[in-house]
Amino acid sequence: MQSLSPRGMLVITLSLLLALVLSVLPLPKWALLFYPQWLPLVLLYWAIALPHRVSLGVAWLLGLLLDGLYGTVLGEHALALTVITFVAGKLYRQIRMFPILQQAFSMMMLIVLYQVILMWIQGIMGSLQDVRWFWVSAVVSMLFWPWVYTILRSCRRRFSVY
């Protein structure tokens, strides 16, 4: 198996770093409800497009970075991102064959799983916030999936990331 070119590594790294920055942008509390889950979306794209390049270790490291940036319990986001990356890695062949709208629904279900894991951990730690509207972010993420998919696929093809 050939190794990833430096240009390909740069494209993946920059897209994940951009998603990380978008994930931690300071927003008003009301806007957080309608904000897509950028890092899980971009991570899931790469895990489905290149499962042999972006795997559980990448998800774990990104989750630890996100935990540090949010100031949450260390490992909270790492566990959630690793679980959804694992599920996406097991189902990547099926998800890639789906039409874009069905892929978007699959992404919504994975984002819901991500959020349920986070709520579970927060509940155990006693820091669970209001959960009545947790599903809104998953629906917004589903609506953003076609654009995320299209932009990252065109970047992957333009820079020959394989």
Q: What is the DSSP string of 4-43?
A: PPHHHHHHHHHHHHHHHHHHT----HHHHTT---HHHHHH
**Span 6-29, average pLDDT:** 93
The whole-number pLDDT of residue 77 equals 97
The 3-state secondary structure of 40-92, one letter per residue: HHHHHHHHHHCCCCCCHHHHHHHHHHHHHHHCCCCCHHHHHHHHHHHHHHHHH
Give the domain range for residue 148. 36-158
Encode pLDDT of 111-159 as tens digits: 999 999 999 999 999 888 777 788 899 999 999 999 999 999 999 999 9
Residues 47 and 43: their CA atoms lie apart, in Å, by 6
Which residue is listed with tokens 């795997």?
55
R_g (Cα) of the chain, nearest Å: 15
Residues 111/67, Cβ–Cβ less than 8 Å: no
Determine, yes or no, domain membership for 7. no
Both structure tokens of 2? 């050939």
For residue 10, is it within any domain? no
Give 67-120 pLDDT, tens digit per residue: 999 999 999 999 999 999 999 999 999 999 999 999 999 999 999 999 999 999
Q: Please report the pLDDT score of residue 144 as a whole number.
A: 97
Could you give the CA distance from residue 55 to residue 67 in angstroms, rounded to a whole number?
A: 19
Asked if residue 132 is part of any domain, the answer here is yes
For range 60-66, the mean pLDDT:
97
159 in Cβ contact with 12 (< 8 Å): no
Let me know if residue 114 belongs to a domain.
yes
Total structural domains within the chain: 1
Q: Is residue 21 part of a domain?
A: no
pTM of the model: 0.94
Task: State residue 83's pLDDT score.
Answer: 98
Q: What average pLDDT score do residues 54-72 get?
A: 95
Residue 18 has pLDDT above 60, yes or no: yes
Residue 2 has pLDDT above 80, yes or no: no
- What is the per-residue pLDDT for 106? 97
Inside any domain, residue 50: yes
27 has a pLDDT exceeding 50: yes
What is the C-alpha to C-alpha distance for residues 12 and 151, in angstroms, rounded to an integer?
12
